[in-house]
Amino acid sequence: MKKLSIIVFVLSICFCCISCNNKDKKMLNFSEVLEKSDDGRFIVTNKIMYDVSIVNSLIGPDKSKNNIDWFWENLPYPDGENFIKSLLEDVSEHKIPIYYYDLSGDYEVLEEIPANKIDDFLNENLQYTEETIDTIKNKILEEKIKLDYKNVAEIRFLEEWSIKDGEFTKKVVAFSPIFTVYSESKGMKLNFIKFWIRIR
């Protein structure tokens, strides 16, 4: 009888511990505050946008994997440059669809640029006009600067974040190269985002 009482006592303590642990987990469970999708994912956010630097001018001339600090560049040379160059070539050759850069509306329905308009769109948008004033002749001078892979130092990501079965997942909805030029007349760097890319 004494042994039975001890067993019952021990089991009671175990049950209380399990109940307390479950209660603690329930209190800390993010599922109580996050929206759940039809496929069982808990949506942290369906719209998050941020810029990632892929070129770091502060690590010196050796921008390669041989440099001990290469990871500060995210996409070390020449891998990063080759990737951006080939990506823009795929865009210009219509191998990858591109979408109008629009920060409004539903990101799941980005408006694709029609194939028959891509060439004109790229010719018009992948350039920057630098204006300077000729004080002697008193007129405005224009210089056309081509925007290509050499101008890309950052990438903008549009993502959806979710959690399922304890795993944090980031889905890239779209991304865009950020073209940077230095304006002599304005004395500053200017960033341009021309289109979204979505690879499925």
Q: Is the pTM of this model over 0.85?
A: no
Tokens of 101: 């850069």
Q: What are phi and psi of 34, to 5 degrees?
A: -100, 150
Residues 180, 191 contacting (CB under 8 angstroms) = yes
Alpha-carbon gap, residue 192 to 178, rounded angstroms: 6
Alpha-carbon gap, residue 96 to 122, rounded angstroms: 13
Give pLDDT tens digits for 67-121.
Answer: 666 666 778 777 888 999 999 999 999 999 999 998 776 666 789 999 999 999 9
Which among 121, 116, 87 has a CA at the least distance from the CA of 101?
Answer: 121
Q: Average model confidence (pLDDT) for the chain?
A: 80
Query: Which residue in the block uniquely carries the two structure tokens 């941020």?
Result: 50
pLDDT at residue 192 tops 50:
yes
More confident residue, 40 or 180: 180
What's the length of the chain?
200
Largest CA distance in the chain: 111
Tokens of 132: 């300077």
Q: Give the start-to-end residue ranges of the domains of the chain.
A: 1-33, 35-197
Q: What are phi and psi of 109, to 5 degrees?
A: -125, 60
